[in-house]
Structure 1
Amino acid sequence: MKASLAVFILAALLATGACLQCEVCEAPGTSCKGDLETCTAGFDSCGIVLAESTLMGMKQQIIAKGCVTSGSCKVGPLTTNFGKGLTMNLGIACCMGDACKTTTVTVPPADPKPNGRSCPACVGMLSAKCHEEITDCTGAETRCVEVAWTETKGGTVIPVTMKGCATEAVCANETEVSGSFAGVRVDLTLKCKAPGTARGPAGLLIPALAGLLLTQLLS
């Protein structure tokens, strides 16, 4: 699951056909190296994304590099809280050309102060459902998030479900993602809502990186 999710993240970010080239890679930790890929029109910056998860005090990080839109470089804090000590934060930095060799990225600092909001929270590995418990949202987390994906390989279907609190930036884009890469099919959605208010599905990068981090923590 780790490898296919990582590849699918980059497949969603990358395309071919325009003049901008960015390094493409992903790896656990805070550094990775890869080949240059040509970006499609509209992907006008090179992005470096660092995701960090914490589960009961234990931290894991994963980094990914690829082509992004310039709008992705201006998002606010990307943090999620799935209850029971599981949090995931993501930072992004953008660069062009030689500047990418020295550009660094940091994750948003943790803000443990409750903000008066709460959301259903749970994690269901190998399940399309999970047992919800109410968790208090903290800092800038003002949305309730629901992440669901299924990974299909060789007739085996692996479902994952995650619910919790998220910042507004996590819910900024509307996307439902389905596709195949190297014989693995992934169908993924992320939905956000406020109490009594539904939001549309959001982008691929956050839940996919979250899933990869979760499998690292729980493996």
Structure 2
Amino acid sequence: MEYGSQTCDGGSIRCPAGNFCGTSLIEVTRKDGLRFYSVRRNCCYLDKCQQSFHYSHTNYRSRQQINCCTTDNCTPPEPTWLGVKDESETNGLSCPTCVYPSFDCLAKGDIECVGEENKCYNLIQTYEGIGVTAIRTFRGCGTESLCRFGEWTEKYEGITLKSSINCTDANTGNANMSPGLLNVFIYVALYFLLLINSF
């Protein structure tokens, strides 16, 4: 796992039966143009492989791709969008948006959806590890591929992350963007010890 990088280095582990070598790369772009990356490499369930997502909340827009390979100790290919600027444009849809350190998140504004984002998502994550427990809720726009993940649990280097996502159809009409609630470091550190990752 690496933050602020598009690659990561580390040792090898033995994957459980039915798992494959997977890499998840996430690009986060803040409203002011600041861009950040998070990459994870681990064993991955087949149904989580070859997946792409786009999602937005508060002042952040993100894209994520999970690639896998099937030979022993292999390195998955890089995301197809690597090095290509995300130029997703607003699509006329909007969703309530917020981030809150608890099980509930009361949106005070909406965010404009972009590209193929046509769902409003509500993501609750419970993070436990090394004497720390944290709960965080996110609301915003997402693609249908993001919503299909439902509920899942991942364990990684002493960390357990439980995630649950529910979605509804996005709203039509203009949005009133709410102010950002997290700085980029906290966003990446907590959201992607995570996220929407599949591992």
TM-score by length of 2: 0.70
Residue 164 of structure 1 deviates from its aligned partner by: 0.2
Structure 2 residue aligned with 1:46, among 17, 21, 33? 21
Q: Where does residue 47 of structure 2 map in the other structure?
A: 71
Gaps of 5+ in 1: 1-25, 197-210
Q: Is it true that 1:94 corresponds to 2:59 in the alignment?
A: no
What is the DSSP-based 3-state SS (H/G/I as helix, E as strand, rest coil) of the residue aligned with 2:164?
strand
Question: What is the CA deviation profile of residues 106-161 of structure 1, one whole-angstrom value per residue up to 9, with x for unaligned ones?
Answer: 5575243222221111122x343334111111100011111112335688653211
2:28 alignment partner, SS class: strand
CA distance 1:74–1:104, change in 2 (3 Å): closer
Q: Is the 8 A contact 1:60 1:216 kept in 2?
A: no
Mark the CA change 1:195 to 1:27 in structure 2 (over 3 Å): closer, same or farther. Answer: closer
Q: Does 1:129 align with 2:104?
A: yes
Write out aligned runs for 1:99-110 (5 A). 100-101=74-75, 103-107=77-81, 110=86
1:100 positional shift: 3.6
Deviation at 1:49, TM superposition (A): 1.1
Letter in 1 for 2:104: K
Residue 27 of structure 1: aligned partner: 2
* Mapping for residues 156-195 of structure 1, pairs under 5 Å: 157-177=133-153, 182=158, 186-194=161-169
**Relative to 1, partners in 2 of residues 1:89 and 1:40: Cα closer, same or farther, differing over 3 Å?**
same
Alpha-carbon contact 1:80-1:167 (below 8 Å) kept? yes
CA–CA distance in 2 between the matches of 1:129 and 1:31? 34
Query: How far is 1:52 from its partner?
Result: 1.1
State how far apart, in whole Å, the 2-side matches of 1:117 and 1:173 are.
22
Shift of 1:73: 3.1
Structure 1 residues 212, 62: closer, same or farther in 2, change over 3 A? same
Number of matched residues?
A: 173
Identity %: 24
- In the other structure, the counterpart of 2:57 is 82
Q: Is the 8 A contact 2:2 2:38 kept in 1?
A: yes
CA contact (8 A) 2:96 2:140 kept: yes
More helix by share: 1
User: Aligned partner of 2:8: which letter?
Assistant: C
Relative to structure 2, which stretch is displaced further, 91-100 or 60-69? 91-100
Task: Say whether the 8 Å CA contact 1:48–1:94 is kept in structure 2.
Answer: yes
Aligned to 2:95: 119
Runs of at least 5 residues in structure 2 that lack an aligned partner in the other structure: 172-185, 193-199
8 Å contact kept, 2:95–2:141: yes
> What amino acid is aligned across from residue 57 of structure 2 in structure 1?
F
2:26–2:63 Cα contact (<8 Å) kept:
yes
Deviation (angstroms), 1:66: 1.6
Shift of 1:69: 3.2
Backbone CA RMSD of aligned residues: 3.4
Q: Give the 3 Å change call, closer, same or farther, for CA 82–31 of structure 1 in structure 2.
A: same
Q: Quick check: 1:36 aligned with 2:12?
A: yes
Please tell me the residue identity of whatever aligns with 2:56: N
